[in-house]
Amino acid sequence: MKCFYPKSRRAIAMIELIFAIVVMAIVLLSAPMLISQSTKSTYVGLQQESINAAATQLNIILTKEWDQNNAITNIDSRVLFVGAGDSELALPTGLDRRVGVPANSSRKFVTGEGASANASAPSTFGNGSGNDSAGFDDVDDYEGDKAVLREVANPTARYADYKDRNIRMDTTVRYVSDSTGYATARVTFNNPFVASTTANSTNIKAVSVTLTSTSSDTEIASKNITLSAFMCNIGHYSFAPPRNVP
């Protein structure tokens, strides 16, 4: 027995074939766009990874002492004397601390042993070893620190955990302009990342980590990416002695 399909069934099959061809054409036309978008996503991911590396570098630096003369392990972190800071932040006559600091505060110009010190001059920045050969123990030691963020074969090498390519991470540390008017009713603050100076020693040091790239196929190559923070010459509080609990 012969079976005959209705003409409408053959027409539906032809329409299905046409739709299939159209769908395949759309997919093939969008493939280059999808590949391009995937590549851009890779570059953005590379940029974000590099920014995370710079943020980690900056956070590590901010855990260090403000100055080498505060990195001595057997003394408290003190307020240091600076050469060209705001005069209202200097040591007033008859006091061992700044105006407005409580008498019981440990944020003083002298330690418990009565020792005082000057802040480091800009010429000593970036020596990397400090005065006690302890390595990178204050923010000054990171001046001029450079790293290339790239995949390396040696897992014990410095910066070995970074997988970026052709991306430089440069660190700078500068004395910058501090504020005025601390002892008056109104304080004027100068943006430390605008009015920077290396000639004077003030009460603020600015730290900047900048990312650059020599590769034309990264998001960083066409952008100026800098992360900045600042630290102040304020010493630190000491922990209260333990109380005897009955």
pLDDT (mean) for 219-229: 80
In 3-state terms, what secondary structure has residue 87?
helix
User: What is the tens place of the pLDDT at every residue in 172-206?
Assistant: 888 888 876 666 656 565 665 665 566 678 888 88
Residue 73 placed within a domain: yes
Helices (H) and strands (E) in the chain, counts: 1, 4
User: What is the tens place of the pLDDT at every residue in 147-171?
Assistant: 877 655 455 555 554 444 678 889 9
Residue 146 placed within a domain: yes
Q: Which residue has the higher pLDDT, 139 or 245?
A: 139
Residue 30 placed within a domain: yes
Residue 75 placed within a domain: yes
Residue 1 placed within a domain: no
172 contacts 210 by C-beta, under 8 angstroms: yes
Q: How many residues does the chain have?
A: 246
Residue 70: name the closest of 241, 203, 182, 195 by CA: 203
Residue 245 placed within a domain: no
Q: Which one-letter DSSP state was computed for residue 196?
A: B
Q: Measured between alpha carbons, how far is 198 from 122 in angstroms, rounded to an integer?
A: 6
Residue 246 placed within a domain: no
What is the value of pTM for the model shown? 0.71
User: What is the tens place of the pLDDT at every residue in 119-145?
Assistant: 888 777 776 654 445 678 888 888 888
| pLDDT, mean over the chain | 75
Per-residue confidence band for 60, with pLDDT thresholds at 50, 70 and 90: very high
What's the structural domain count of the chain?
1
Domain that holds residue 102: 10-232
Residue 54 placed within a domain: yes
In 3-state terms, what secondary structure has residue 116?
coil
